[in-house]
């Protein structure tokens, strides 16, 4: 191997390999407690299945509501679980940012030579999120039986949904830099996004709809089954992609701005 080959890779490729290594380490850590890990995955799949069962019962009683049918709600839960699962199985630490900032635990990540947010986000895997990925893919392919085009659109939408969850979670947790103890607020904001995202877009109108396409970007998620997978609307899809990119960029900027306000707690601790 030449000297040049030993230099660390640069750019996007370097970050991809960086994330890949983190994922391998996180997975190896989870596999140390194999039974618990598998139990959590199955537990989350059961949890998602129970929610989906509610909708299946609902659509058995009311076959069409506001243009939504059973297949649409299955797609909604599948894409939501798939996107959420991708986000939190790779970046499982983002829903702990607020508590890390408040406790002064961020110091640990500041000494690393890479992007701080990426390091912080990828340093933990949410085991249950793997169950969400499995549930999303399984349910979509088993119950919706998509065409190849629908399958591609589903996977692309799932990745964009993951970006939305990442951006929104990082932004709400970054409030801790300004407000201090913002753990409850950020948790409730994340729960609000998930809650709105898992109900059919057709039931919301007027000002609520406006909020769901701005302040709480759940409208981009809960419109996917009808506006992307069932009847592809290129304009909506472009809007979904733009919103995802915007939230990723905004979350990075907001986190960096917050970081400038961060005060070290000079916390001494042992990490094992």
Binding-site member from 1, 184, 270, 272 for another protein (CB under 8 A):
184
Q: Which is nearer to another protein, 121 or 217 (CB)?
A: 217
**Per CB under 8 A, 40 contacts another protein:** yes
**Per CB under 8 A, 65 contacts another protein:** yes
CA–centroid distance for 247 within its chain: 12
Question: Distance between CA 227 and CA 264 in Å, rounded?
Answer: 46
Count residues binding another protein (CB under 8 A). Answer: 31
**Per CB under 8 A, 199 contacts another protein:** yes
**Per CB under 8 A, 60 contacts another protein:** yes
CA–centroid distance for 140 within its chain: 18
Long-range CB contact pairs, 196-202, < 8 A, 24+: 196/222, 197/80, 197/221, 197/222, 198/51, 198/76, 198/77, 198/80, 198/222, 200/65, 200/66, 200/68, 200/72, 200/73, 200/76, 200/225, 201/226, 202/65, 202/66, 202/67, 202/68, 202/226
Question: Distance between CA 54 and CA 69 in Å, rounded?
Answer: 14
**Per CB under 8 A, 208 contacts another protein:** yes
According to DSSP, the residues that pair with 68 across neighbouring strands are 65
Q: Do residues 116 and 110 make contact, with C-beta atoms less than 8 angstroms apart?
A: yes
**Per CB under 8 A, 20 contacts another protein:** no
Binding-site member from 195, 253, 256, 261 for another protein (CB under 8 A):
195
Binding-site member from 3, 10, 61, 260 for another protein (CB under 8 A):
61
Q: Which is nearer to another protein, 64 or 238 (CB)?
A: 64
Q: Which is nearer to another protein, 44 or 137 (CB)?
A: 44
Q: Which is nearer to another protein, 191 or 245 (CB)?
A: 191
Q: Which is nearer to another protein, 21 or 205 (CB)?
A: 205
Question: Distance between CA 79 and CA 93 in Å, rounded?
Answer: 21
Instruction: Write out the two tokens for 64.
Output: 């069409």
Which parts of this chain interact with another protein (CB under 8 A)? 35-36, 39-40, 42-43, 46-47, 50-51, 53-54, 57-58, 60-62, 64-66, 184, 188, 191-192, 195-196, 199, 202-204, 208
């Amino acid at each position: 191997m030449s000297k040049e080959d030993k230099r660390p890779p640069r750019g996007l490729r370097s970050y991809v390999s960086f994330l890949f290594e983190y994922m391998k380490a996180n997975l190896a850590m989870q596999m140390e407690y194999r039974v618990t890990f598998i139990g959590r995955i199955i537990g989350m799949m059961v949890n998602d299945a129970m929610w989906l069962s509610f909708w299946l019962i609902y659509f058995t009683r009311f076959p069409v509501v506001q243009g939504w049918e059973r297949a649409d709600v299955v797609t909604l839960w599948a894409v939501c679980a798939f996107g959420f699962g991708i986000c939190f199985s790779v970046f499982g630490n983002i829903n702990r940012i607020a508590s890390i900032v408040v406790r002064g635990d961020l110091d640990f990540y500041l000494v690393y030579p890479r992007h701080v947010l990426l390091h912080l986000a990828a340093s933990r895997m949410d085991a249950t999120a793997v169950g969400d990925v499995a549930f999303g893919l399984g349910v979509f392919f088993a119950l919706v039986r998509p065409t190849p085009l629908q399958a591609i659109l589903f996977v692309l939408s799932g990745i964009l949904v993951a970006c939305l969850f990442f951006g929104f979670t990082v932004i709400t947790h970054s409030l801790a830099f300004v407000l201090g103890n913002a753990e409850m607020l950020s948790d409730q904001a994340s729960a609000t996004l998930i809650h709105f995202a898992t109900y059919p877009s057709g039931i919301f109108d007027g000002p609520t709809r406006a909020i769901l396409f701005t302040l709480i970007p759940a409208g981009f998620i809960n419109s996917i089954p009808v506006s992307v997978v069932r009847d592809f609307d290129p304009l909506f899809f472009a809007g979904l992609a733009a919103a995802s990119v915007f939230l990723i960029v905004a979350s990075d900027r907001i986190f960096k701005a917050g970081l400038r306000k961060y005060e070290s707690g000079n916390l001494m601790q042992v990490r094992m």
